[in-house]
Amino acid sequence: MSTIDPENNEPRALFEFADFKDKHVLEIGCGDGRLTWHYADKAAHVTAIEPSAKQIAIAKENLPKHLESRADFQAATLEEFAAKSRPSVFDLVILSYSLC
Amino acid sequence: MVHAFKEIHRLLKSDGFLIDIHPVAVHSSVEIHKNGKIDLVGQLEVSQWCVDFQEADKALDEIIQRGIFTVEQKVMFETLTYYDSAPEMGTALKQSILKYVREGEPVDEEVSHVEILAAQADELLHAADGEAKLVLREPDHISRLKPI
């Protein structure tokens, strides 16, 4: 079993760039939620999208109870998600290793 | 890609911002770590992956030139992935190659390069006994962009 970024270099870089307090966040390309868990408890709400339904199923399965009301995982591309979203709703968008 | 950034711009509040994280389009390295010493096994050559992220970089440049976003901050960092074995690394890297490949693009050379790297890593791991760790080092950059 591989271990990705145990040094937490990625979340450390993210926290240097963003204060998540009271923010409504959209994460594009969330995968299995690996990065999402690091900041979700600090944000007001997180919408995390990922085209792979398999990855979203893993993310939902691993979603901690205390984050259930704060994090919403959806299997969707950015195009699909944007088509049904109102404008100007997010304080912060994270494009994480995603080519959209 | 430019269209995607425009969609992101539409979804963002005017005082919001975008954080973009993606690998730097250069070769990642496969390493053996033991007792604080790092030995380079080789560099990963995933041209398809690099082409895609080079295009992402170009799209980012274009949206900045068009005045859709402006860069507030940008830095590089590295992510390290630790594998339990060389075959595990080989399988994971081959899956990544196949995930990013475009229809009709040949991947035999890249897959074969991964197999060679995995075999070399396996030999070095066995020679180094159980204390050594197999690591993939990937340079990434993170940017904070403000919508205009």
Question: Among B20-24, B35-39, B137-141, whose mean pLDDT is lowest?
Answer: B20-24
B14, A88: Cβ pair inside 8 Å?
yes
Contacts of B25 in chain A (CB under 8 A): none
- In the chain, the amino acid numbered B53 is F
- Cβ of residue B68 closer than 8 Å to a chain A Cβ: no
Kindly report, residue by residue over A5-48, the tens digit of the pLDDT.
Answer: 999 999 999 999 999 999 999 999 999 998 999 999 999 999 99
Distance of alpha carbon A59 from alpha carbon A23, whole angstroms: 21
Full DSSP string of A51-77: S-HHHHHHHHHT--GGGTTTEEEEE--
Measured in residues, chain B has a length of 148
Which residue in B85, B135, B93 sits closest to B110, CA to CA?
A: B93
Work out whether the CA dihedral B12, A92, A10, A77 comes out positive or negative: negative
List pLDDT tens digits, range B33-79: 998 999 999 998 766 666 667 777 888 889 999 999 999 999 999 99
**Structural domain spans, chain B:** 2-147
- Tokens 């992101």 map to which residue? B8
First to last CA, chain B: 18
Residue B7: per-residue pLDDT: 94
Alpha-carbon gap, residue A43 to A23, rounded angstroms: 5
Question: What are the sequence ranges of the domains in chain A?
Answer: 23-95
A23-95, what's its fold? Rossmann fold (3.40.50)
Q: How far is C-alpha A3 from the geometric centre of its chain's CA atoms?
A: 19
Q: Enumerate the residues of chain A whose CB falls inside 8 A of the CB of residue B84.
A: 1-2
User: A17 in contact with B at a CB cutoff of 8 Å?
Assistant: yes
Q: Name which of B1, B11, B73 is nearest A87 (Cβ-Cβ).
A: B11
What pTM was estimated for this model as a whole?
Answer: 0.86
